[in-house]
Chains A and B, each alone.
Chain A
Amino acid sequence: MTKESKRRAARKGGPSPIFIWLRRSLARTIAVVAAVVVAVFFLIRLVPGDAAKMILGEYATDSDIQAMRTRLGLDFPPRDQFLRFLLQVLTSGDTGKSLVYGVSARELIFRRAPLTLLLVGLAAVLAIVAALFLALLAATHKDGPLDHMIRVLPAISLSMPVFWIGLLLILVFSVKLRIFPVGGVKEGLGGLLHGLALPAITVALSQVPSLVRSLRVQILEVLDSDFVVTLRAAGLPSRRILFRHVLRSSAIPAVMLLGVNLAYLMGGTMVIEQVFGLKGIGTLLFAAISNRDLPLIQGIALYCALAVVLVGLLTDVGAGLLDPRTRAKP
């Protein structure tokens, strides 16, 4: 069969390929979600010795410890513990009441989530834009001095701890130049964006190097494709080809890449919240840790993982939908 008749056949019958692949993505996602829930449950088992004792400290009495065990549901047999946990998560999306705040973990998390989400979103957008720009620059000047410089960047920035970058940026922009606040957010939308600018830039900076590395390779592949020669031969100016066609082809893989990198982005954001004193989930986590608030810690772990998995699924599906090639007409 020539390529031509194969294509003709594929266009005729069979279930829409998009559904098969959607089904598979969904099944895989559900499996991972289930595994995540199980993993979160087992987090408590990590504690060497008695979890209740660790929480209460050295000077706790036996009755205190026993009370805590009951509170945490640790006096049930292991299998029941797991079932209770599962039930709780499935029905109320909760991992328990915070030991310190007395409120359900889910509520606390949702209250603090918007700020973190905003920060992650800002950082993501900045990272993608910067990475695309640098990658385009490097790819179009391949093997030139600019390319080499841009290729060296990842090696350097990957070794820079994100909090250290944050501190340096604070030093330069907040202390010396006084453009941005040293920490915290002020009132109103303007104040919010102003306060989030430097943290977002910091997190974006930490992701840009690895994004540039992958994007550069992808863009080079696109630049080598047949259709670029066609467009060039058709008389389209280089700049137009670059920005309209090459960029369009590279944007989808760029977004997918970001979806994959989201986990790192989120982790970096949480650390940066601590550096800049922002009231998001990151600082909630640190508070939970110093308070040894196990249910809250579990809740944060659960929701973060779920967020990563969800975004992964969305980018997968989204990229597939956006690419007209997978959209089969009925």
Chain B
Amino acid sequence: MIGRSPRPPLRPSGGRPKTPPLWIGCSMLVLLAVPAILAPWITPYAPGQQNLSATLLPPSRGHWLGTDQLGRDLLTRILYAARTDLSVMVLAQIIPVCTGVFLGMVAGYFGRGIDAAVTLFTDTVIAFPFYLTVIIVAFLSGSGQRGIYVTFALVGWVVYARVVRGLSATFRQQDWIAAARTLGYPDLRILLRHLLPNVLPQAIVVLMTDMAALLVAIVTLGYLGIGIMPPTPDWGTMIADGRPFLSTKWWLSALPGLAVVYTGIALSLIGDGLADRIRRT
């Protein structure tokens, strides 16, 4: 176990496991995204189509996943919610990634005062529990999709700033940056053309796992009633809708959650796969 001679190897050369997380992750995502995108054309029902005489039905041939308390087809709603949630998830990341990467580069590259200021900034944001901030800010800036975008613009950049700052600070010590500086390149150019391309791959890996966390936050806000508002379908509100029927029709809450987990795993795998790729170059 510890400090003991390992057993003889199973393979002559220790190869790495052959599972390709990148491909699995991507295919999982595609498997969800394609029906979601095509939803308006392939679903026989509309997401808001109520049928009050067919409420709370278990899975059947007409309704593959059953119906909810208003007789709406569950599968359709899950697919439409995928459209909403996934698109919000992607869009909400744009500003945080840009600001985070920018602040991180600047802090790591220039160091000193700017670094101290940015670090103070990040430490302050981190001091507030993530969900506390998300809830308060989402509410204060007006709930719904707009609230979500504002919230993550304010809070979501921290992860990127930290990672990029660390990378930038390390790169700054290295020869190729020093070379660029001695050649007299202006700082901005170095930042954009030299530092940025080298920082970006790692940032993208973080992006994948962060998006999974973002999705969870969006869904949580929906559950609490301060996120995406009905009638727009959202996995969070669907879970909340199913809460009163938890003991009998538990799949109403379970299935949308499963969809979230599925997406999260797919994103995680993609992130891991990308990380492996980067490490190998």
A: which residues have CB within 8 A of B?
A: 28, 31-32, 35-36, 39, 43-44, 46-48, 140, 155-156, 158-164, 167-168, 170-171, 175, 223, 228-229, 231-233, 238, 241-242, 246, 263-268, 270-271, 274, 285-286, 289, 297, 300-301, 304-306, 308-309, 312
Kindly identify which residue among B1, B124, B141, B261 contacts A39, using a CB–CB cutoff of 8 Å: B124
Whether the Cβ atoms of A301 and B139 lie closer than 8 Å is no
Q: Which residues of B contact A158 (CB under 8 A)?
A: 209, 212-213, 216, 264, 268
Q: Give the CA-CA distance A302 to B263 in the complex, in Å.
A: 34
Whether the Cβ atoms of B135 and A171 lie closer than 8 Å is no
Kindly identify which residue among B123, B140, B219 contacts A32, using a CB–CB cutoff of 8 Å: B123
Q: Which residues of A contact B183 (CB under 8 A)?
A: none
Q: Which residues of A contact B223 (CB under 8 A)?
A: 161, 163-164
Whether the Cβ atoms of B2 and A238 lie closer than 8 Å is yes
Tell me the B204-249 residues at the A interface (CB within 8 Å): 209, 212-213, 215-216, 219-220, 223-224, 226, 236, 239, 243, 246-247
Q: Which residues of B contact A39 (CB under 8 A)?
A: 124-125, 128
Would A163 and B128 be within 8 Å (CB), given that A31-B120, A43-B140, A238-B2 are in contact? no
Whether the Cβ atoms of B265 and A46 lie closer than 8 Å is no
Q: Which residues of A contact B215 (CB under 8 A)?
A: 159
Whether the Cβ atoms of A242 and B2 lie closer than 8 Å is yes
Smallest CB gap from A45: residue in B = B140
Whether the Cβ atoms of B120 and A32 lie closer than 8 Å is yes
**Dominant SS at the B interface?**
helix
Kindly identify which residue among A155, A160, A228, A301 contacts B216, using a CB–CB cutoff of 8 Å: A160
Q: Which residues of B contact A32 (CB under 8 A)?
A: 120, 123-124, 127
Smallest CB gap from B3: residue in A = A232
Q: Which residues of A contact B69 (CB under 8 A)?
A: none
Q: Give the CA-CA distance A308 to B129 in the complex, in Å.
A: 8
Whether the Cβ atoms of B129 and A304 lie closer than 8 Å is yes
Chain A CB within 8 A of B260 CB = yes
Chain A CB within 8 A of B126 CB = yes
Whether the Cβ atoms of A263 and B129 lie closer than 8 Å is yes
Q: 16 more A-B contacts (CB under 8 A) besides A32-B124, A171-B246, A264-B129? A: A39-B125, A159-B262, A160-B260, A161-B220, A161-B239, A167-B253, A167-B254, A171-B254, A233-B3, A265-B129, A267-B131, A267-B132, A268-B131, A270-B132, A300-B132, A301-B128
Whether the Cβ atoms of A289 and B130 lie closer than 8 Å is no
Chain A CB within 8 A of B142 CB = yes
Q: Give the CA-CA distance A140 to B3 in the complex, in Å.
A: 10
Kindly identify which residue among A140, A168, A308 contacts B127, using a CB–CB cutoff of 8 Å: A308
Whether the Cβ atoms of A140 and B226 lie closer than 8 Å is no
Would A267 and B127 be within 8 Å (CB), given that A162-B220, A242-B2 are in contact? no
CB pairs A–B below 8 angstroms (29 shown):
A28-B123, A31-B120, A32-B124, A35-B123, A39-B125, A48-B141, A158-B209, A158-B212, A158-B268, A159-B215, A159-B216, A159-B261, A161-B219, A161-B223, A232-B3, A263-B129, A267-B131, A270-B129, A270-B132, A270-B135, A271-B131, A274-B224, A285-B136, A286-B224, A289-B135, A304-B128, A305-B127, A308-B126, A308-B129
Q: Which residues of B contact A304 (CB under 8 A)?
A: 128-129, 132
A27 to chain B, nearest CB (A): 11
Chain A CB within 8 A of B4 CB = yes
Tell me the B247-281 residues at the A interface (CB within 8 Å): 247, 250, 253-254, 257, 260-265, 267-269, 272
Q: Give the CA-CA distance A289 to B272 in the complex, in Å.
A: 38
Kindly identify which residue among A35, A168, A301, A312 contacts B136, using a CB–CB cutoff of 8 Å: A301
Smallest CB gap from B266: residue in A = A159
Whether the Cβ atoms of B127 and A175 lie closer than 8 Å is no
Chain A CB within 8 A of B169 CB = no
Which of A32, A156, A246, A297 has its CB near the most chain B CB atoms (within 10 A)? Answer: A32
Smallest CB gap from A312: residue in B = B127
Chain A CB within 8 A of B88 CB = no
Whether the Cβ atoms of B254 and A161 lie closer than 8 Å is no
Whether the Cβ atoms of B128 and A161 lie closer than 8 Å is no
Would A309 and B127 be within 8 Å (CB), given that A164-B257, A289-B139, A297-B136 are in contact? yes
Q: Give the CA-CA distance A248 to B279 in the complex, in Å.
A: 32
Would A159 and B264 be within 8 Å (CB), given that A48-B142, A289-B139, A289-B226 are in contact? yes
Nearest first, the 7 A-B pairs at minimum CB distance are A159-B264, A267-B131, A267-B129, A232-B3, A164-B257, A155-B268, A35-B124
Q: Give the CA-CA distance A306 to B4 in the complex, in Å.
A: 47
Q: Give the CA-CA distance A232 to B247 in the complex, in Å.
A: 54
Q: Which residues of B contact A28 (CB under 8 A)?
A: 123
Kindly identify which residue among B3, B120, B125, B254 contacts A168, using a CB–CB cutoff of 8 Å: B254
Whether the Cβ atoms of A270 and B1 lie closer than 8 Å is no
Q: Which residues of B contact A301 (CB under 8 A)?
A: 128, 132-133, 136
Kindly identify which residue among B123, B132, B254, B261 contacts A285, using a CB–CB cutoff of 8 Å: B132
B24 to chain A, nearest CB (A): 11
Chain A CB within 8 A of B137 CB = yes
Would A263 and B130 be within 8 Å (CB), given that A35-B124, A36-B124, A161-B257 are in contact? yes
Smallest CB gap from B257: residue in A = A164
Q: Which residues of B contact A286 (CB under 8 A)?
A: 135, 224
Whether the Cβ atoms of A43 and B136 lie closer than 8 Å is yes
Would A155 and B269 be within 8 Å (CB), given that A163-B220, A164-B253 are in contact? yes
Q: Give the CA-CA distance A306 to B262 in the complex, in Å.
A: 36
Whether the Cβ atoms of B261 and A156 lie closer than 8 Å is yes
Would A46 and B141 be within 8 Å (CB), given that A140-B2, A167-B239, A301-B136 are in contact? yes
